[in-house]
Amino acid sequence: IVDWLRMMYRRMEYVVKLGPHHSDAFQSIIGILAGDSSSPGLWNIYFSDFSLLRRPDDVTFGNQHISHVEQADDIVLFSTSAQGLQDKLDALFNWCRANSMTISEAKTKIWITGPLPSVLPTFKVGDDTLKCVSKHKYVGITLSSTDRSIFKEHYYVKASKARKSVNALFGAENFVGTIPPKDGIAIYMATVDPHLMSACDISIDIDATLLTQLERIQKLFIRRLLGVANHSPVALLFSETGMWPVKYRRIILALRYWQYALSLPDDHFLSIAMAESLTLARAKKSSWISDLARVLHLLHRPVSMDLSRQWQPSDIDNLITAVEQSCLVDIDSFIAASSKALLLRYRSLHRTDPSSARETPVASFRSYLNVPIPAHRKALVRLLTSSHTLAVEVLRWTERRRPPVPRSQRLCRFCLSEVEDEAHALWYC
């Protein structure tokens, strides 16, 4: 097998493609070739003999000691004491020196969680002193030790990147014209949604202020895509596009992550961590599971989660269905009760009519969004989402020192006898 690998690397050639142009074939003969199918396995073999002795200051989940984890060559060492961490740094330094590797001092940081000591300890790799930081990014997740939530900085970073992606998406309209809603949603799911969903499996949204940073970007995108005003009802943004609100989508993905963890062997690190989290939650202590139970309870239509039972992967499907129904019922209830959804209310009544030949979903991508002429499409959307210029909507708001006008006085500009709402403008006047 070793001879075969040598032969493969000796004969491996690369070609760079840029548009219609191709470079000449060339070889890469320095280090392990990145990107080929053998590289991950070869790295695992290379690093497999690095081990650390168990210590009383190791981080433990139950009876499992976890002293280090790796994402390829991005290594994290854990310890609950300064001396323990220094000893592990020394062990890693000695292993690297014996295996023709070096540790990058510039990229290696010390991150201390919990209360900081009055005097920060000094940590070294060889003769190089390492810098202690309060914020650091590991495998794409920004961690902060000085904020109430260690993921606070990550929310702001991802909200900023998502906003830039939205601006770039709509900036393309200067070159390609108005983006059709269906295409816009597809681009959103590929370029914006990954930022808004980042770390949803490990960071449960218990801080509403941080979650708002992400929700604001999603609402901005949908309103710009549909061409509606900032005060258009939020529920209608989702009922007409079929998109899931950020809050519910992040909860569902977190539940699927738990479902995946439940399917793992008992000795898997993630399985051990989840079992420890459930034990803490049952003891009324803060943990990932207790945070998940809390956000489910705080939904507008709460979803209960029995912490005392033994959970199986199939049980999570029921929780996911309950979360989805909570979202859809919330949207449907708004449409049924709001004066801003007058025309959509009859669609709701049609859906519950036993004589109806076909059930209309609460939230889906509506066919009228495929109207090809942007001006016509936006006029339809604005009429249905109460983002129009009829008196019933315009006079609802304070404008230029004019106070809001009572609904009964928002009269039609032509007949001056009835309220100028959607139904009156379409069928009566």
In the prediction, which pLDDT does 72 show? 82
Query: At 132, is the secondary structure helix, strand, or coil?
Result: strand
| 331-340 long-range Cβ contacts below 8 angstroms, 24+ apart | 331/235, 331/238, 331/239, 331/362, 331/363, 332/362, 334/233, 334/235, 334/236, 335/235, 335/236, 335/239, 338/233, 338/235, 339/392, 339/407, 340/233, 340/236, 340/385, 340/386, 340/393
Q: How many degrees, rounded to 5, is the angle at CA 210 between CA 234 and CA 59?
A: 140
pLDDT of residue 3: 86
Q: Is the pLDDT of residue 350 over 60?
A: no
**Average pLDDT in the chain:** 90
Band of pLDDT at residue 31, cut at 50, 70 and 90: low
Measuring CA to CA, which residue among 35, 43, 33, 46 is closest to residue 71?
43
Higher-confidence residue: 71 or 204? 204
**Burial code of 151-175, b = ≥16 C-beta within 10 A, e = fewer?**
bbbbbebbbebbbebbeebeeeeee
If you average pLDDT over residues 331-343, what whole number do you get?
A: 89
Give the bridge partners for 238, in sequence order: none
pLDDT in tens, 212-268: 999 999 999 999 999 999 989 999 999 999 999 999 999 999 999 999 999 999 999
pLDDT, one tens digit per residue, over 374-418 is: 999 999 999 999 889 888 888 888 887 889 989 888 899 989 889
The continuous run of DSSP H or E covering 290 comes out as helix 288-297
For residue 117, which amino acid is it? P
End-to-end CA distance of the chain: 84
Determine the average pLDDT of the residues in 260-287. Answer: 95
Statement: residue 37 has pLDDT above 80? no
Q: What pLDDT is stored for residue 34 in this prediction? A: 62
Residue 353, pLDDT > 60, answer no
SS3 assignment, position 111: strand
- Going by pLDDT thresholds of 50, 70 and 90, the confidence category of residue 420 is confident
11 pLDDT band, cuts 50/70/90, is: confident
Residue-wise pLDDT for 128-149, tens only, equals: 999 999 999 999 999 999 898 9
